[in-house]
Amino acid sequence: MIDYASFMSEAIPEDLKEQESHFSIEISIVMRKPKGHFSRAPGVVLDILSSFGGGTFFEGQGYWKGVQEPVVYILISTTGTTANVIQLVKEKLASAQSKLKQKEMFVKINGTTFVDSFLSESITKNFPEQWEFDSDMKVITANQSRSDEHHNLIYGRVDYQNGNYTEAQQKWTDMINEFGDLVKQNKELKQTELRDLMKCYSNILSPKLSLEEKFVESICNQFNELLPPNVDCEFDTGVLSKHAEGRMRGNRLKLYKLIGSNTINMTDLIEDGFFAVEQIVSHLENGASPYLEQDPIQDIGTIFKHILQINQNQEARIKDDLVNLAAKFPAYETEFRKMIK
């Protein structure tokens, strides 16, 4: 047997690097979170599964060094070169360890085990101890929370992720036309349908799709009506959270820059970017769960990047905002200060 797990910390022999093999990977993710943090474990689990094209996970209990904890056990079956697979596993586990504040990580590759740290001791020594974690665990519900979405929105997203852009465009266009027909029949759209329309507009405006100029302008105008700049949407929080709304505003900021839309002038668009950050901050302050397991801290950084791509003169304002955020959220101070750099 080849001890693939040893390559987590040791160099891969040259004769194995490009060897194509089948890999069975098992990863244990601790679900408890440090006190004062939001739960990042569900997002970590889904990120790992997505990176490997899917897999299986189930909830269980782990026991390590005298402590029993709830865990999610991930099972992944994949093929690839040894170098590529091992590198991806290392990247994902190092990221997970940093986000979850774990002093060690567990992975088993083709039957051999690695339990150690991917981070230096100078970093992990500042991680919280076991008694500084709470029992506020979040259930992994990202896919389930999409169960009330329109089927064309869901399957169009799958087509788009697989590079089938024509099929994605057709599904999203059909959905827009279907809802448009309801409006023509004087039927009032439900909040969930209006929410799905906003998501659809945010997706279909991708520069990768071939849309007619008039159609793009029409979609932008409708998008702006449902998501007016610098004004909260009138949706119930159970239908559309402030995190979700902020992410859509950030995506609009990026899209309008790429497609050259002037349906919102650039000054208002930039201000809407800062408004989007305020919405996500409010979501964090209220202790609400992240939208579809997305990371709100990373989302804030992404929105600031979109703003700078439009106007570099906003750099000083963004730095001031990040300094204030680092002071407001000590648990994420390191991440906000990295954004400043």
Written in H, E and C, the secondary structure of 38-56 is CCCHHHHHHHHHHHCCCCE
**221 assigned to some structural domain:** no
111, 134, 157 - which closes a domain: 134
In a domain, 222, yes or no: no
Residue 200 sits in the same domain as residue 242:
no
Same domain assignment for residues 21 and 129: yes
| Chunked mean pLDDT (size 10), the chain, 341 residues | 92 94 94 85 90 90 80 94 96 94 94 93 88 74 65 90 93 94 88 92 92 92 93 83 92 92 93 96 86 88 95 95 94 90 78
Same domain, 197 and 112: no
In this structure, the answer to whether residues 123 and 33 fall within a common structural domain is yes
CA 139, CA 38: separation in Å to the nearest integer? Answer: 13
Single out the residue of 197, 106, 96, 89 nearest to residue 153, CA to CA.
197
Q: Is the same domain home to 80 and 158?
A: no
Q: Point out the domain boundary residue: 110, 134, 158.
A: 134
Same structural domain, 95 and 32: yes
Q: Enter the pTM of the model.
A: 0.77
Structural domain including 60 reads: 4-134
Output Rg (C-alpha) for the chain, integer angstroms.
22
User: Domain count of the chain?
Assistant: 3
Beta-bridge mates of residue 56: 75
End residue of a domain, out of 105, 134, 163: 134
Q: Does residue 218 fall inside a structural domain? A: no
